[in-house]
């Protein structure tokens, strides 16, 4: 992910969104993954950046791309 992309993740069972490269979360917390993904996806679309969902906070190779961004298709 590049700086500025939106990431949805969970910490201790609570879901959050944040901008990649920033330590603060974006907006409020969410009780369900579905709510957090909906808001994260909307924020990414508004900023025209990628959105990814991770099951836990911290370094992980389990990060999965939720939406493709046009810049990824231009090769």
Which tens digits make up the pLDDT trace of 2-50?
778 999 999 999 999 999 988 899 989 999 999 999 999 999 999 999 9
Q: What is the pLDDT of residue 55?
A: 74
Give every CB contact of residue 63 below 8 A, 6+ residues apart in sequence.
1, 7, 52, 53, 54
Q: What is the pLDDT of residue 75?
A: 43
Q: Parse the chain into domains and list their residue ranges.
A: 6-73
Q: Is the pTM of this model over 0.75?
A: no
* Count of C-beta atoms within a 10 Å radius of residue 24: 7
Q: What is the pLDDT of residue 60?
A: 45
Query: Does the structure show a pLDDT above 50 at 58?
Result: yes
């Amino acid at each position: 992910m590049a700086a500025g992309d939106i990431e949805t993740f969970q910490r201790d069972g609570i879901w959050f969104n944040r901008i990649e490269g920033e330590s603060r979360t974006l907006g409020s917390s969410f009780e369900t993954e579905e709510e957090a993904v909906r808001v994260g996806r909307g924020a990414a679309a508004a900023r025209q950046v990628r959105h990814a969902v991770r099951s836990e906070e911290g370094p992980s190779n389990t990060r999965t791309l939720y939406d493709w961004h046009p810049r990824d298709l231009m090769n």
